Structure 1
């Protein structure tokens, strides 16, 4: 299961990082992403209703590859797996979080920002990591530097990624996918502007296709 989910992320190349509050917002957001040709969502636990949103999308939108973001404790791993999350993303590297995810057999992308953290991740059997916050720790240049001593590692850079610099990340072979929130801006979610989310998602998909052509 783990490999299939990571392959799906690699196929879409973009992981929308979503902040929604509750089941209804989660479902509407998922519909907007589907309409834009980007059926992937990392729903963060930054709001009280984040878990409800994951549960709703997993149950009612099975075509969406839904994951849980901002997972920082082992108990949260249990919660999001029970809710139906298919992968987990953490802002940092916690051995307890990684171990619990592995016990569940679910992919975990821990956040790293240094060679030391990469080595700890590799020691835990992780070979796909979240570079976070990507723009602060060096962006594409950091990925190039890290990939030299760690050639088998794949990255999902998140933080400061935009439509403007997306091609710079996607051009790098170690980049499995990028995490971004510009197409699912929280202001758009709060305003219920699902059409604009769909438009931005379709635009992002087009950028990926242009990069690969």
Structure 2
């Protein structure tokens, strides 16, 4: 299942409880953005607890130094909001998976040339399924493309029809004050929508 749960604002105290309900719902990729409280602690906790069941990593990774810090946690996924070839190359040299953010074909091809494993179409709501369809016409067919921003259970089928490989889900799956039960309910709705849209 190609869903990435984005836990922006999560704290180390809450991360294991939230991670548990996500994994139980079938979510197999989880990122903690580096602008969250004590993100490296949360990432390490997730990796130690769920690293065998899900790909754990960091979001909002902007520098080569941050890539090295995340690598020390044992996590395997680097997600960025932008296309920085140095960050992409550093991620690959560290044996990690790189999902850089792109919004245009030019950025997409720069990311591909730098070794990106998948592209993060961000902000997705600005490009929309129509823009994605146009980009897919020129990008390598085998390059995975994840829409991030504005994806909900209601529009998931439209994105998949336009050629999205998967999605990064932020506030539709987690907000800082959400209880584990709320997150579990949101995750189930998203997983159900994914299964129906396939």
Q: Aligned-pair distance for 1:39? A: 3.7
Gapped regions of structure 2 (runs ≥ 5): none
Q: Aligned-pair distance for 1:172? A: 3.5
Are the aligned partners of 1:162 and 1:182 in contact in 2 as well (CA < 8 Å)?
no
Partner of 1:26: 15
Partner of 1:190: 177
User: Alignment partner of 1:72: what SS?
Assistant: coil
2:85 is the alignment partner of 1:95: yes
Partner of 1:130: 120
Are the aligned partners of 1:19 and 1:50 in contact in 2 as well (CA < 8 Å)?
no
Rounded to whole Å, the distance in 1 between the matches of 2:160 and 2:57 is: 21
User: Alignment partner of 2:40: what SS?
Assistant: helix
Are the aligned partners of 2:5 and 2:170 in contact in 1 as well (CA < 8 Å)?
yes
Q: What is the root-mean-square deviation in Å for CA atoms of aligned residues? A: 1.6
User: Alignment partner of 1:29: what SS?
Assistant: helix
Partner of 2:197: 211
Q: Aligned-pair distance for 1:167? A: 1.4
Partner of 1:69: 59
2:3 is the alignment partner of 1:14: yes
User: Alignment partner of 1:179: what SS?
Assistant: strand
Are the aligned partners of 2:124 and 2:148 in contact in 1 as well (CA < 8 Å)?
yes
User: Alignment partner of 1:83: what SS?
Assistant: coil
Match of 1:179 among 163, 168, 176: 168
2:153 is the alignment partner of 1:167: no
Rounded to whole Å, the distance in 1 between the matches of 2:171 and 2:2 is: 15
Partner of 1:144: 133
User: Alignment partner of 2:43: what SS?
Assistant: helix
Gapped regions of structure 1 (runs ≥ 5): 1-11
Rounded to whole Å, the distance in 1 between the matches of 2:35 and 2:71 is: 17
2:69 is the alignment partner of 1:83: no
Are the aligned partners of 2:153 and 2:194 in contact in 1 as well (CA < 8 Å)?
no
Q: Aligned-pair distance for 1:165? A: 1.2
Q: Aligned-pair distance for 1:27? A: 0.7
Q: Aligned-pair distance for 1:190? A: 2.2
List structure 1 runs of 4+ shifted beyond 3 angstroms: none
Q: Aligned-pair distance for 1:163? A: 1.9
User: Alignment partner of 2:148: what SS?
Assistant: coil
Q: Aligned-pair distance for 1:140? A: 0.9
